[in-house]
Amino acid sequence: MNLKRHGPMTPALNVFHIESMGTLDGPGIRTVIFLKGCPLRCHYCHNPESWQDQTENWMQQDELMALIMKMKPYYKNGGGVTFSGGEPLLQARKLEPLCKRLKAEGIHVALDTSGCILNQDVKVLLEVVDLIILDVKHAESEAYTALTGGALSKTLEFLEFIKAIHKPYWIRQVIVPDYNDQKSLVLKLECLTKSTYRQKLELLAFHNTGMGKWQWNSPFWNRPSLSEKILVELQEMIQKNV
Ligand code: SF4
């Protein structure tokens, strides 16, 4: 989709990409709005071009509302809008009024985030949205930092907050062969993130299709994609455990 370019007028949002009929990032059919900027640097990031927020694709909230309202008839079976990234929490203050407008229209709103920011703006935004899709990138602190450059403790603090405000959430993790595909690690993730508000635990297969975008010294350079067989085994193990 071609994004119009505007000056950085508040409360415009810096948008990387828009997917109008997404089915993977939340329930039902969704408009997925990928926002620019991310404080993490995951080795397997498929959208490293979303990191730089210097190249600006500012979209006014009215433009986004108009686009979303056109799609509203498709939001059946719990569908709606998901804000993803990059890291949508970087634009929390500007997102909150837009999310309120969507809620006033009866539209389901989800946030797809790594949970690496928890400031006052983020807390206010979290109260407004319906669902958090929390990407916990590794269940162990050291490996989390090695993978992302960030801290697992921040994601866990974020998780504690969404549990405290009784917000439904999904947990996600990309499973990388010979990195976090051990059963013990997946069980640890299950245990770490369990609560009555967790609606789903999704394991996603690592794919090396983004390899061309990674730095040659990435530890995942030339690593094979995760086999379907291992993913199914891990998913079945989780099902038995939940
Ligand atoms: S959190 Fe997402 S956008 Fe940010 S570096 Fe990691 S994979 Fe890329």
- Nearest-CA residue for ligand 1 atom 2 is 86
Residues with Cβ within 8 Å of 129's Cβ and at least 6 positions away in sequence, in order, are 99, 109, 110, 111, 167
Instruction: Return the CATH number of the domain spanning residue range 13-241.
Output: 3.20.20.70
Over the stretch 135-187, which tens digit does the pLDDT of each residue have? 999 999 999 999 999 999 999 999 999 999 999 999 999 999 999 999 999 99
Taking 80 as the threshold, does the pLDDT of residue 1 lie above it?
no
Pocket residues for ligand 1 (CB within 6 Å)?
Answer: 38, 40-42, 45, 47, 50, 85-87, 114, 148
Measure the CA–CA gap between 188 and 194, rounded to whole angstroms: 10
Q: What number is the average pLDDT over the span 125-131?
A: 98
Is the entire prediction scored with pTM above 0.85?
A: yes
DSSP string across 97-158: HHHHHHHHTT-EEEEEE-----SHHHHHHHHH-SEEEEE---SSHHHHHHHHSS-HHHHHHH
pLDDT value of position 77: 86
Q: What is the mean pLDDT of the chain?
A: 91
- Nearest alpha-carbon partner for 199 in 174, 161, 155, 163: 163
- Nearest-CA residue for ligand 1 atom 3 is 86
Which tokens belong to 238? Answer: 């989780």
Which tokens belong to 213? Answer: 């975008």
DSSP string across 9-74: -TT-EEEEEEEEEESSSSSSSEEEEEES--S---TT-S-GGGT--SS--EE-HHHHHHHHHHHGGG
Over the stretch 54-83, which tens digit does the pLDDT of each residue have? 667 899 999 999 999 999 999 988 999 999
Determine phi and psi for 100, rounding to 5 degrees: -65, -40
Distance 38 CA to ligand 1 centre (A): 6
Distance 45 CA to ligand 1 centre (A): 5
5: exposed, middle or buried (Cβ count in 10 Å: 0-12, 13-18, 19+): exposed
pLDDT category at 115 given cuts 50, 70, 90 is: very high
- Nearest-CA residue for ligand 1 atom 8 is 45
Q: Which residues pair with 169 in a beta bridge?
A: 132, 198
- Nearest alpha-carbon partner for 98 in 74, 69, 76, 120: 69
Q: How far apart are the first and last CA of the chain?
A: 40
Distance 229 CA to ligand 1 centre (A): 26
Q: Which residues pair with 83 in a beta bridge?
A: 33, 111
Please, are residues 46 and 213 in contact by the beta-carbon 8 Å criterion? yes
Over the stretch 7-60, which tens digit does the pLDDT of each residue have? 444 589 999 999 999 999 999 999 999 999 999 999 888 878 777 656 678 999
Over the stretch 205-237, which tens digit does the pLDDT of each residue have? 998 876 666 666 678 878 899 999 999 999 999
Domain extents in the chain:
13-241
Distance 86 CA to ligand 1 centre (A): 6
